Amino acid sequence: MKKILLYIFPLLLLQPVLAQVDRSTYPEPGPAPEIKLGDAAAFTLENGLKVFVVENRKLPRVAISLVLDRDPLLEKEKTGMLGLFGEMMMGGTSNRTKDELDEEVDFIGASLSASSTSLFASSLKKNQGKILELMTDVLYNPVFPEEELDKLKKQAISGLAASKDDPNSISGRLTSALNFGKDHPYGETQTEATINAVTVADIKNYYETYFKPNIAYLAIVGDISSEEAEGLLKEHFESWEKGDVPSHTYPVPAVPTQNKVALVDRPASVQTVVNITYPMEMSTNHPDFLTTRLLNYVLGGGASSRLFMNLREDKGFTYGAYSSIGSDKLVTSFSARASVNQTATDSAIHEFLYEIKKMVENGVTESELVAAKANLSGSFGRSLESPSTIASFAINTQRYGLPDDFYATYLQRLNAVTVEQVNAAAKKYLKPENMYITAVGNAKEIEDKLRTFGEVSRFTNMADPEREIDTSELNLSASEVLAAYLSAIGGEEAAEQIKTTKISMSAEVQGNKLNMITVQDSENQVMIQRMLMAGNEMSKTLLRDGKATVSAMGQSQTLPDEQFEYLKMSMYIVPELQYETMGYTISSDGVKDIDGETAYKVLITNPTGGEVANYYSTATGLKIRSEDSITGVTSYGRYEEFEGVLLPVQLSVESPMIPFPLNFEVDDLEVNITLTPEELN
C-alpha cells in the first residue's frame, strides 16, 4: 500500500500543472530541418549515359536501375505494344534462351526485369559482375521470339476481356479518353485488334529507335564505392552506341466548357463508380507543385479528408472517397472518385460538387493545413529509409530540371506554404464548372438521376460513344423477341423435345486446362455442374428439389433463395420456354450495341425481384449475351445444330468470383441421353 501511495502522491501534486495544458489547439510547429540526403556521385560516360552512384554499406547488395527519358508515344493501330515490350525483351538473347536466362538469374538469387522504358537488376555484392553481364546481354542482344509474342498477346487479350466487365477499369478508360482524347498517348485504348496487330518487327523497331544511352539514366545503389562503380559500369555500358531519338509533341487538352455527364451502362452493377475529372497541367518543377499536394490532401488525400469524412463518415454512401492531382511533365488530371451505393448516385455526386465548390469559395483552415503538412512530411521522411530514394532523387533532379536543393529543402518549402497560397491554388486549379462527371453503373437505375447534372452522353465499356441505332424498324416487344429467338434456334416444338443434355467444355487458365461438365434434366428439374482441373474436381453446383448447393474443398453450402432464383433457369436447356410458366415477368429495354452487334435487350425479373438482362441479335434472333449481378456476364459465340436445335458451343464467362474471363469451347454435347444416377449426383 505504501508503494502505491508513493506513486499516486506525486501525480496528485502535478494535477494543477496538467490542468493548465490547453489541448484544444495544436502546438506551434518547430522549424523544418534541412534534409541531409548524402550526395549521389555522378558522372557521364562518353556515349551520353548519365550515371549516379549511391553508396550504402548496410547490406552486401547492389541494385541497378536504367531509365529511358523519351517522350510519350502514340501507338495508334498498335496500341498495347509498349505493354508487351518488357516481357518480350526478357524472352531470351542471342546467347541465352529465356529458360537459360531465368535459370542463371535464379541460380545467383538475383532479379532482372524490363519494361518499355527501363531495366532493373539486383543481386548480392559478390554477384554484381554476373548480374551486370546478364543485364547487358538483355540490353544488347534481345531476340524477341515470335512464340513469346504469341503467348503474351493471348494473355493481354484475356486481361482486356476481364477489364471490359471491371467497373474500375471501364471508368479508367472513360476518364482517360475524355480528359486527353483517343488521339493522345494518355487517352488511346487498346483493343483485341490493336494487340493482334503487334508484330515482332514493331518490337524490334521500337528497341532500335529508343534504347539509346544518350537519353538514359543509370543509378547503382548499394555496397559499392563510386570509384568501383565507375570502372564496372564503363566496362559494361561504354560499348552501348548512342543515336538520334525522335521527339514528340502533342496539343494540350482543354477542360470542358461546362460540366459534362458521361455514362457507361453496366446492368450487373449494384454500385456506381463515380469519377469527376478534367485535364490540367502540373509537374514536379512547377512553382505550385507543393501547394497542390497540400490542397489535394485536405480535399481528398486520405481518411481524414473532406471527401472521405463527408461521403463515408457522415453520409455512408461509400467505403471511401478520394481525390488526386497528378504530376506529369506533359499533362495530367484532377480526379475525385468513389464507388457509391447505386441508390445514392446523384446524392454522392452532389456532395462531391459541394466539397469542391466549398474549397474554391472558402479555402482551407489553418488546422487542416497543419495536418496536411504533417502527413506529407511524414511520407517524405519514410521514403528516405530506402537507399534507392536517393538515387531516384538524383535522377529526377536532372530529368525534370529541378533545382539542386529541391529535395534537401523539401520540408522547409513545404512548411513555408501558407493558407493564402493554398486558397489561391484552389481558385486557380479546381474547376467546379468545367468537369467531366462520369458514372459506370446500371443505367436503368441511375440515368434519370444523372440528368440533374446535365445532358447524359452514353459510352461503351471501351470508352467509345454509344453507336446510334435506327430503331424505326426495330420495335419488337419482349414476347416477340423471345418468339423470334425460339424460331431462330429451330422452333418451339423442336426445343421442347430436348429433355436432357450432357455438355463437356474446356477453357485455358494460366496455361492449365479447366474442364466444365454440365448435366441438365429439364423434366426432373435437375442441373449439375462440375469444374475440374487436371482431372480433380474443384467445385460442384447442384440444383435439385428447389435448392442450390455449392461444394468446394470438401465443404458444402446451400445458397439463399434469392441466389437460387438466379440459377434455377440453368436447369433448363432452353430457359426461354419456361419464363411464363415459372412466374417470371419479361419487359423490353430497347435496342443496344453489344460489341458492334445490334441487339434487343430483354429484362427477365424473377419472383424475388432479381433481374437478368438477355440480349438477342436483331439480325439472327440468337441470344448473344446474358448478365446479372450474381453470376456476372455470359457471352454466347458460335451455335451448332443438335437434333434440329441450335445450341451455343462457345461461351465466355465473366464472373465477379473470378479475376479473369473464362473462354469455353464445347468439346462434346450429347442430347436426349439417358442419364445415370452417378451423373445426376
In this predicted structure, the answer to whether residue 12 has a pLDDT above a threshold of 70 is no
What confidence category does residue 16 fall into, taking pLDDT thresholds of 50, 70 and 90?
A: very low
Pairing of the two strands 260-265 and 436-441:
parallel
Q: What is the pLDDT of residues 488-542, one digit of tens each?
A: 999 999 999 999 999 999 998 777 889 999 999 888 888 999 999 888 888 899 9
201 shares a domain with 278? no
- pLDDT at position 609: 83
> For the residues 551-573, what does the mean pLDDT come to?
83
Residue 470: the pLDDT is 83
Residue 272: inside a domain: yes
Q: How many CA atoms lie within 13 A of 133 on its CB side?
A: 10
Residue after which a domain boundary falls, among 202, 237, 272: 237
Q: Is the pLDDT of residue 23 over 80?
A: no
Residue-level pLDDT at 242: 95
Contact yes or no for 150/88 (Cβ under 8 A): no
d(CA 572, CA 229): 71
CATH number of the domain enclosing 162: 3.30.830.10
Q: Which three cell numbers stand for residue 307?
A: 471527401
Please enumerate, as own/partner, the contacts of 484-487 that have beta carbons within 8 Å and a separation of 24 or more.
Answer: 484/616, 484/621, 485/576, 485/616, 485/621, 485/622, 485/623, 486/574, 486/576, 486/577, 487/621
Same domain, 95 and 200: yes
Opening angle at CA 549, ends 545 and 552, nearest 5? 155
Q: Is residue 222 part of a domain?
A: yes
In the structure, what pLDDT confidence band is assigned to residue 28 with cuts at 50, 70 and 90?
A: low
CATH of the domain at 619: 2.50.20.10
Residue-wise pLDDT tens digits, 610-628: 889 999 999 999 999 998 8
Average pLDDT, the chain: 90
Whole-number pLDDT of residue 13: 34
Contact between 309 and 236 under an 8 Å Cβ cutoff? The reply is no
* Predicted pLDDT at 598: 94
| Distance in angstroms between the alpha carbons of the first and the last residue of the chain | 73
Specify the DSSP class assigned to residue 660.
S
Any domain includes 594 = yes
In a domain, 644, yes or no: yes
Q: What is the pLDDT of residue 14?
A: 36
pLDDT average, residue stretch 41-65: 92
- Give the whole-angstrom CA distance, residue 103 versus residue 291: 49
Residue 181 lies in a domain: yes
544 close to 520: Cβ distance less than 8 angstroms? no
pLDDT at position 675: 80
- Sequence-distant (≥ 6) Cβ neighbours of residue 619 within 8 angstroms: 597, 598
Could you tell me the three cell numbers for 236? 559494361
CB distance 280 to 255 below 8 Å: yes
Statement: residue 642 has pLDDT above 60: yes
What is the spatial distance between Cα 158 and Cα 650, in angstroms, rounded to a whole number?
15
**640: helix, coil or strand?**
strand
Residues 6+ apart with CB under 8 A from 394: 40, 42, 52, 54, 219
Q: Is residue 31's pLDDT more than 90?
A: no
Tell whether 281 is covered by a domain.
Answer: yes
DSSP 454-518: SPEEEE-TTSPBPPP---TT----HHHHHHHHHHHTT-HHHHHT--EEEEEEEEEETTEEEEEEE
> Are 185 and 274 in a shared domain?
no
* pLDDT the model gives residue 32: 58
Check the CA dihedral 553-558-562-565 and report its sign.
Answer: positive
Q: Are residues 316 and 430 in the same domain?
A: yes
pLDDT for 120 beyond 70: yes
Q: One-letter amino acid identity for 496?
A: E
Q: How far is CA 182 from the centre of its chain?
A: 18
C-alpha pair distances (Å), 42 with each of 88, 215, 581, 627, 642:
31, 16, 80, 58, 73
Of 377, 375, 373, nearest to 365 (Cα)?
373
Structural domain span for residue 78: 41-237
Pick the residue with more confidence: 642 or 509? Answer: 642
Of the listed ranges 209-223, 283-297, 594-608, the least confidently predicted one is: 594-608
Percent of the chain with pLDDT over 70: 94
Question: Is 451 within the bounds of a domain?
Answer: yes
Q: What pLDDT score does 445 carry? A: 92
DSSP state of 327: -
Confidence at residue 34, expressed as pLDDT on a 0 to 100 scale: 57
Instruction: For residues 544 and 123, give the distance between their C-alpha atoms in angstroms, rounded to a whole number.
Output: 58
**Does residue 224 share a domain with residue 288?**
no
Question: Does residue 224 sit in the same domain as residue 271?
Answer: no
Residue 19 lies in a domain: no
Question: Strand 271-282 vs strand 436-441: parallel, antiparallel, or unpaired?
Answer: antiparallel
Shared-domain flag, residues 530 and 592: yes
* For range 25-38, the mean pLDDT: 57
Cβ-in-10-Å burial (0-12, 13-18, 19+) of 280 comes to buried
Q: Are residues 522 and 630 in the same domain?
A: yes
Contact yes or no for 55/228 (Cβ under 8 A): no
What span, in angstroms and rounded, lies between the C-alpha atoms of 85 and 113? Answer: 11
* Claim to verify: residue 87 and residue 229 sit in the same structural domain: yes
Q: Side-chain half-sphere of 235: how many Cα atoms within 13 Å?
A: 12
pLDDT of residue 546: 84
**CA dihedral defined by 183, 189, 194, 200, rounded to 10 degrees?**
90
Q: Is the pLDDT reported for residue 8 higher than 70? A: no
What confidence score (pLDDT) does residue 357 get?
Answer: 98
pLDDT digits (tens, 9 = 90+) for 455-488: 999 999 999 999 888 888 888 999 999 999 999 9
The pLDDT assigned to 564 comes to: 82
Does 174 share its domain with 291? no
pLDDT confidence of residue 653: 87
Q: Three-class SS of residue 211?
A: coil
Are 540 and 636 part of one and the same domain?
yes
Listed ranges 212-221, 401-410, 565-574; the one with the highest mean pLDDT:
212-221
Q: How many domains does the chain have?
A: 3
Judge if 422 and 540 occupy the same domain. Answer: no
- pLDDT above 60 (res 7): no
